[in-house]
Amino acid sequence: MSCKIDEDVRGRDIFIVQPTCPPVDEYLMELLVMIDSFKRASSYRITAVIPYFGYARQDRKDAGRVPITAKLVANLITRAGADRVLAMDLHAAQIQGFFDVPVDHLYAAPVLNNHLQSIDLPADDLIVVSPDVGGIKRAVGHGQRLNAPLAIVDKRRVSADTTTSANIIGASVEGKVALMFDDMISTAGSICSAAEVLHNHGAKQIFAAATHGLLVGPAVERLQAAPLSGIIVTDSIPLAQEKNLPNITVLSVASLLGQAIKRIHRNESVSMMFQ
């Protein structure tokens, strides 16, 4: 793999846009090579714009003798020569601390919320749902923006085998339009399981919204079988044609990224975009 810059970039403010989605290793290596090329070409500043940060879920040691790959990737990007990083909806916010350079963290929540408000859903029937207890903070934020009550799908193992008990904590979902939010849809197991619980508790419509639509493994088959009225993702990851189901809507985050890039270039606040 090689990279050659065909024009003079000495003293320029460089923004390299590269999601590290599958094939993660190939795209990550491309990013590192490009950063090194621009660094050696004497650019003024290099910002790695990473709409989807690969290996984000490997952010801690959850077993013996395993790596913290998210930290390793952060080290590689920094050592390659990046002066700052612009990322979107990291799986865990603490990943920002893995970098030794400034990290601007964007959220696709405004894009998702604006779309949901534009499709004329009955405001009085809306309820925001966290598909698991780990997503409560995210769901609370969406609920405040959409002026909707909150419910949580609580799934617990009740025996040593695969039997689980699922309950709804919070507001009732019966007869409601349920809006589930997550940072990503990977194999779609959690989202589809939560959708079944909501359906069994009487929700009349169920929507799933996530920033990153990975859709790996059995995700497509699960989403096709789930009682979902709509699935909303962004273009932080390119969606292959065979994964583009009839009820999937892909929203663009280009404007959000563009606004952030402009603010960084002008040395303006990025956090002000979300206030």
State pLDDT tens for residues 226-243.
Answer: 999 999 999 999 999 999
Residue 166: predicted pLDDT: 83
Determine contact, residues 234/212, Cβ cutoff 8 Å.
Answer: yes
Residue 165 confidence (pLDDT) above 80: no
Of 35-44, 117-126, 163-172, 197-206, give the lowest mean pLDDT range: 163-172
**Rounded Cα distance, 10 and 24, in Å:** 30
β partners of residue 165: 156
In a domain, 269, yes or no: yes
Has residue 176 been placed in a domain? Answer: yes
Cα Rg, the chain, nearest whole Å: 20
Average pLDDT over residues 199-221: 97
Domain count, the chain: 2
Domain holding 129, by residue range, is 109-251
Mean pLDDT for 41-68 is 96
Neighbour-count burial for 202-228, b at 16+ CB within 10 Å, e otherwise? ebebbbbbbbbbbbeeebbebbeebeb
- Tell me the pTM: 0.93
User: What is the rounded end-to-end Cα distance, in angstroms, of the chain?
Assistant: 42
Q: Over 80: is that where the pLDDT of 176 sits?
A: yes
Residues 135 and 261 in one domain: no
Residues belonging to the active site: 155
Phi then psi for 72, rounded to 5 degrees? Answer: -60, -45
Residues 230 and 140 in one domain: yes
Is residue 155 situated within a structural domain?
yes
159 band by pLDDT with thresholds 50, 70 and 90: low
Same structural domain, 70 and 158: no
Residues 100 and 124 in one domain: no
Predicted confidence at residue 65, as pLDDT, reads 96
pLDDT confidence tier of residue 163, bands split at 50, 70 and 90:
very low
To the nearest whole number, what is the mean pLDDT of the chain?
95
Mean pLDDT of 106-133: 96
Residues 116 and 157 in one domain: yes
275 vs 114, which has greater pLDDT?
114
Q: Assess whether 142 and 90 both reside in one domain.
A: no
- The residues, any chain, with a CB within 8 Å of residue 225's CB and separated by 6 or more, are 192
**93 lies in the same domain as 113:** no
Q: Over 60: is that where the pLDDT of 70 sits?
A: yes
Q: In what order do the strands lie in the sheet with 177-185?
A: 164-170, 150-157, 126-130, 177-185, 205-213, 230-234, 248-251
Look at the alpha carbons of 258, 263, 264, 269 in this order and tell me if their dihedral is positive or negative.
Answer: negative
Same domain (yes/no): 178, 193: yes
| Whether 271 contacts 86, CB under 8 Å | no
Q: What is the CATH number of the domain that holds 193?
A: 3.40.50.2020
**Residue 125 and residue 93 in one domain:** no
- Shared domain for 181 and 240, answered yes or no, is yes
120 in the same domain as 79: no
Question: Could you tell me the pLDDT band of residue 68, with boundaries at 50, 70 and 90?
Answer: very high
Domain check: are 243 and 263 in the same one? Answer: no
Q: How much is the pLDDT for 50?
A: 98
Question: Would residue 207 count as lying in a domain?
Answer: yes
Instruction: Kindly state whether residue 7 falls inside one of the protein's structural domains.
Output: no
Alpha helix stretches (DSSP H) within 51-123: 69-80, 109-118
Task: Write the DSSP symbol of residue 64.
Answer: T
- Token pair, residue 248, equals 């999937």
